[in-house]
Structure 1
Amino acid sequence: MIDIHPEQARTLAAIVAHGSFEAAASHLRVTASAVSQRVRALEVAVGRPVLKRTRPVELTTSGQAVVRFARQLDMLSADLAEELQPGVQPARVRLTLVINSDSLHTWALPGLAAVADKVQLEILREDQDYSLELLRNGAAAAAITTTAKAAPGCSSRRLGVMRYLPVCTPEFAARWFAGGATAAVLADAPVIIFDRKDDLQDRYLRSVSRTAIQPPRHYVPAAHEFGEAIRWGMGWGLLPEIEVRDELKRRTLVPLDPAAHVDVPLHWQQWRHGSAALDEVAAAIQAAARPLL
């Protein structure tokens, strides 16, 4: 049995959070030498390296597991304090979540607001196809992701499906798609892309043509501004159906193809050994997603 000392695990978590041995030492109010000694003792206990001594430091797979343990231990300690001292106002648990921009922009914040008086939240914005890495390496306690299979040490719950529609302004449609959104026209019509990780527009383009289509691209990496770029006529792009329903009814935006859409399944993954606070956040996110996804 591997015996991990909590102090050593929390030291590793501090190194990751603050970026270096020296910064972790300052945060923990100990010497850098003491931090190094704790890491060496931890690696002896684990039997393998827990980090790569780069700048910033990089965790090994074993180190990721130890950091998850440290942060889970902090959450469980908060639960225990509340149980042992029921009359004392507990300190708010700090939770780091990974949520994609479109979920934040359209449906997730009302759910988080329902529990904001009980926890302290740090929200990391990351594409839903890439959010699991932050969960695996211990940077976050929970994430919204497209992956249904639970990451190591985590549980997974289905939230629903976000449907995206390819849309543009009526003026843009009249200029570019008067004869329909054909592959030939889509190769020339400007498109709005969120960032270099955004694959939604290309997924739609692949559904139109087997040949790769490479239209002119504008990159706008913010959910509100992404939609505004489309509304200003800079190009076409995919927006969540729940965001554009009213605009489609008013015809301030129009679909490139009324039958076209791209569906993105969303799942909530969190540390299996979490806390009551994390479970409350999960329940609030599910409640917010249920009527909309």
Structure 2
Amino acid sequence: MIDISPEQARTLAAIMAHGSFDAAAAHLSVTPSAISQRIRALEAAVGRPVLTRARPAGLTESGQAVVRFARQLELLSADLAEELQPDQPPDRTRLTLVINSDSLHTWALAGLAAASGTVQLEILREDQEHSLELLRSGAAAAAITATAKPAAGCISRRLGVMRYLPVCTPAFAATWFGAGAAAEALATAPVIVFDRKDDLQDRYLRRFSRKPLQPPRHYVPAAHEFGEAIRLGMGWGMMPEIEIGEDLTRGTLRTLSPRAQVDVTLYWQQWRRGSAALAGVAGAVQTAAAVLR
């Protein structure tokens, strides 16, 4: 049996949260020597390194598990304090979540607002294809992700499907797609991309050519401004169907072709050993996700 003390786990979490042994020592009101001793004892208990010896220090896979343990202890301690002192006003539990920009912009905020009365939330914005690393490292307690398989120490629940449609303005379509959105036109028509992690537009483009199409690209890394760039005619792009219903009805936007879409299934992943606060947020997010397909 591996015997890890809460003090050792919290020390490792403090190093990662504050960036160095010295900063962790200041936060915990101990000496840097005490921090080093705790980490040596922790690695002896684990039987392998928990930190990569680099600047800044990183976590090994074992270190990630220990930091998750430390964060879970914080949540469980808050639950215990509330249970032992039911007459005292409870402190608001701090929770860090990872949510992709489109979900936050279109549907997820309603769920977070419903749960916000009893918690303090920090939202980390990350693409749904890349959010799990923050969950694995212990930096976040839960994430909206496109990965169904649970990360180590986590559970996964399906939320629904975000449907994306390739859209542009009628004027843009007349200029670039007069003969239809065929491969030749898509290779030259400007496209709006959220950031360099955004693969949605390329998923759509791969349907039309065996070779990757490389049209001119504008990078607009904010959900509202991304949509505005398309509405202003800077290019075409993939937008959530639940965001553009009125645009399609009014004719201010049109799809590039009939039945054109890219579907992304979203999942809620959270630490397996959660807390009442985390369960409450999870329930609120799942309720808000009812708008998804």
For the criterion TM > 0.5, the same-fold answer is yes
Q: Please list, as runs of the form range in 1=range in 2, the aligned pairs for 1:157-168 lying within 5 A after superposition.
A: 157-168=157-168
- Pairs aligned (count): 293
Letter in 1 for 2:250: R
Partner in structure 1 of residue 102 of structure 2: 102
CA distance in 2 between partners of 1:260 and 1:271 (Å): 36
Instruction: Please name the residue that 1:15 is paired with.
Output: 15
Q: Whole-Å Cα distance in 2 between the matches of residues 292 and 9 of structure 1?
A: 38
What letter matches 1:121 in structure 2? L
Determine if contact 1:19/1:55 at 8 Å carries over to the other structure. no
* Cα RMSD, aligned residues only: 0.8
Structure 1 residue 210: Cα displacement:
2.1
Note the 1:1-80 alignment, pairs <5 A.
1-80=1-80
Which digits, 9 at most, give the CA deviation of each residue in 1:49-96, with x for residues without a partner? 100122221000000000000000110011011111111111111111
Q: CA deviation at 1:106?
A: 0.3
| TM-score normalised according to structure 2 size | 0.99
**Stretches of 4+ moved more than 4 A in 1?**
none
- Post-superposition offset of 1:248: 0.3
**What is the CA–CA distance in structure 2 between the aligned matches of 1:291 and 1:205, rounded to whole Å?**
27
Partner-residue secondary structure (3-state), 1:208: coil
* 1:185-241 deviation digits (Å, cap 9, x = unpaired): 000000001111110000000112222111001111111111111111110000000
Q: State the alpha-carbon separation in 1 of the partners of residues 188 and 196 from structure 2.
A: 19
What's the CA shift for 1:27?
1.0
Cα distance in 1 for partners of 2:46, 2:120 equals 31
Per the alignment, residue 223 of structure 2 pairs with 223
Contact 2:107 2:291 in 1 (8 A): no
Q: How does 1:253-272 map to 2 (within 5 A)?
A: 253-272=253-272
Identity %: 75
TM-score (norm 1): 0.99
Measured in 1, the distance between the counterparts of 2:99 and 2:291 equals 18
Shift of 1:19: 0.9
Matches within 5 A, 1:189-228: 189-228=189-228
